[in-house]
Structure 1
């Protein structure tokens, strides 16, 4: 190695060390030390032929000028760094430089330019597929929105960015994000007077203080004093407010002196910086000529290598082709065998999964029937107001658990292609209104507004599957409500086209919540998927809802679409072809109404309840007796058969899983001597796949447990009426 090369290597090492020292000094706000190291780096890097290193020194100098609040100088230096990076085609360095440019222009209140720089950084991260490094963009956008006066949007961006910092090692920016988020929350509190925002600000500034104190971030400590002073004023703790404000002004004044001394030091060394800028300008002038000669050489060499490579590959391919044919045949045979074995394993696994789900859901539904049944009975007994609150909570929990069980079963049926689209007439606008009413409490808890926009040109009554459509909308709107705090969820239905009776409708659900990253958008519709682990913990949920939506829409020949941006919110939409009913059909449909059930109808009706579970016996018996029915209980199928033989019952409610003979066997034996007696299966098993089995055994109707009392009595009424008509 020659002497000149050794000097160059030593110089490069020194420049890198000076740059590292400067960066560390900047975050400590030791600006005199930072200026000294930047000037040393500048003096050496001028004579080194390493453009990436020069750009790195410029970026560090930009950061120094930014923190010295010398924003115009920072912008000039940063623009020159961008030119060097673009010329060297080192794309990975560009995003952070664009983010820095966005922050500078935010401080200069050039908001459009700032947003353009953040967009450039975002697009490059998309190209290099590096979602993990996008936190600085999100925090930068948060600062931009705050400066523009959009505090709620700022908080959304901070929330999206902070989660990545929590899992990383960049404690400075984590603390920086907390301080700025607290400031935004205070501004929101001043606008809406919601104590929740003030409490969040207090909690977040305390988290920031732990990091700031442990790592001695001077500037952030001063900013935290300002935030704490504002919180104390709101809480009318004026002594604390004065104490924090004095600390803020005293420390800020001393820091301003450091700023002035440091800026003076940088101005005294402008010749050193100028030498580096001069070299960059010379580099730009010569760049075109160098590129021309290099491109010509590259093309010539490339063509020669390509021709040789093609000839070599052709020769090699002719030799290998015969060998590959023989191997391919053997491999194909092996793969066929493997696929057959895999198919058999998959079929066994699918059967085992179905059996497991059937068993576990039965075991869950049985105690759940006790919970919902007892709740219903207690609510019927005129509870006190404070007891109603607890009972409503218990009812909600029971319904939520039942919904979860049904979601698992629905997903299993969808994956096994065992779901069919029904066709019945329904009022679309009313159906959507019912969904919104059901979700209103959840929205109110989140302080989120539900807005419904239904196009006037859309017909009133349609022929389709209202249950599945409701399930789709509940999952989509519920998902938006879950991830939107203090925001708006818009539900829109538009008419796109109509051909005869078939109307093409567009359903849109749009929110301004936390949003979904581009990476997560690819997996969000998969089973058990959500935004991230942090989001799962914060907002809850199983990740089944959107998977069910996707499967149901595919079943209805549609597709779910998504647009989302972190910090700004999400928009889900789908198109659906649905058949509208004509006026005469609507009138005919309106004539088919449910008969009102008179309470006297059930009086003194003799009912046999066949149930082995003592708690379920008691609940069912009490519900029936509240409607003045005479109730007798049998613990098993054999006892039930004997009781039916020796008594005159009006109806039998039969459980399925019991010790001894099952409810199905007991019903078959009863039908040998009594074909007219109405028998209803009252069961916790999954009924959708067993309907034929139940009806062939002789059941007149099926009621799944747990049930809603009004549906329970409606089916009993229907079965008794049918018997009266037969007689």
Structure 2
């Protein structure tokens, strides 16, 4: 049967097949095999090695259960091979568990012992209590075979304990069944009956039909030793019926063995012989060595009772030969490997020590994470507390320009320059901290590189003119000017390089050149270059200029201000792009800073959202809700918005904002992030997801916190971010474009 799975979720459907096969194994094993085979066929079709290995592993387990030992061995080895290639330790352990099951049910149960231990080591390292339980139960069975009942009971009890940890009643039931068997052999029949009854109760609770057959078989054994033969026969028949229905040949061989023993004990020799031969046939087919040893001895005893001594001797010799060649040899090999169980105890201690080491490392990491978090929180607060008043200053300056005399305007320009310089210093410190803590990430959007370059040059044109310098742009990218770039970071690089060039150049020219190096179908290689005719840098100082807080001149007599972080920031941002900043410099002649970037091209110009005044619509009469706890900032916003004839409502916290949006419909909401009682993220989420009049109203975040990024929690609820101190023109353009 092959179901050809189509669509983009093939792997998910294969996993569902395997999950369903696993669920059905307790009452429909043949269907489990069909589903697992389907999963294998489809995982081969999609060439998914991991799913192939999982399918092989399940097929191995199911075929082992029904007695198809050759198939089970093949599937197990295939699973182990692939899981080994994938370095999937858990997968290897699962496949080894199935292979060990084949070994211990045939004449290689010493290999089963070793292979179970290999699997158990992996399960213990991973705290996999489910698989520890089933492996310990199987290992206990091997000890049971060789007569080491103390070790068997220890493992069975551990299996119960681990089953309880994962609340798996089936595993718990299986272990109780095994414990009951040991108690029967030790003659503690009352306790044996109590444990087997508990096993049956759990099987009834889980509806594990296949497992129930083994539990009923176990109860039949207790009745047999209680000499309640009719009850024993009844329970053996119930077990036999389920094994037949499930096609579980191992269970059939075991039950026919017990029926043979029962009828022999009852003196029904013909029935005893009939059942013994049926069991022997299955045992020989499946190479179930323990069953065949018991049955050869039973058949010998039956023939002896029938006074057919030659046949009795024949089967006695078979029994003796098989026992000597297999049982004693296997027992010896298991005893040889007893050291492995000692190593399991060592492993337990190793795992414990490893966990202690991991806990210590985790505590250390937690302390480091806490320190980073505290540093980030401090910077976040510092960013907000410094930039918020700066926002007020710059906004007031802009508003006052319209009302100032010529003399007053000169003073305002000086004030604006000073505040802009202070903003740059704050930005440098905060940006460097983000880059240094490796929190910064590239956030690429379609960018018109020519427009970007023009804007950067425009910002510094007046500053250059004031020093008598020429600032020239050379842009050598004619048709391919649209790229996916992190605009903010590219601007930051160019700002720092041009600002640095102006700072250290007293006469001459500063040139920004942007040229194509290589053109490919989906990306280009671009070189950015900032060249000046300044004082230059000596060879001895070249290695230091990109270090944090580095200034070439002495602090006491330098003529140029700054944090000394500009070039360090440039270096880190360019490294974030996977490139390097380089410099050529000659003392007295000037310097050239350059770097190369790979930039993905934008296929169509319309992918770039142009934010230009020509696109803006009239904002007159638009209603705005301002959520801002700093009253001066709120007052300034109201003043700015009133210039565009917009209507403003103001609330100072999130709770009031939530009440307001239920009563009045707004065209925009301007949301501060740092608010008392409830932060702006949370307020925005509630506005967007609860019943009110503004679920679809655009919300712009207003924040002075540069530590926030596009990856912050609930950021997708916002329609945009405006960083304080924001440019008034930028606010106008943003509102206009959102209205389109």
TM-score (norm 2): 0.46
TM-score (norm 1): 0.47
Q: Which has the larger radius of gyration?
A: 2
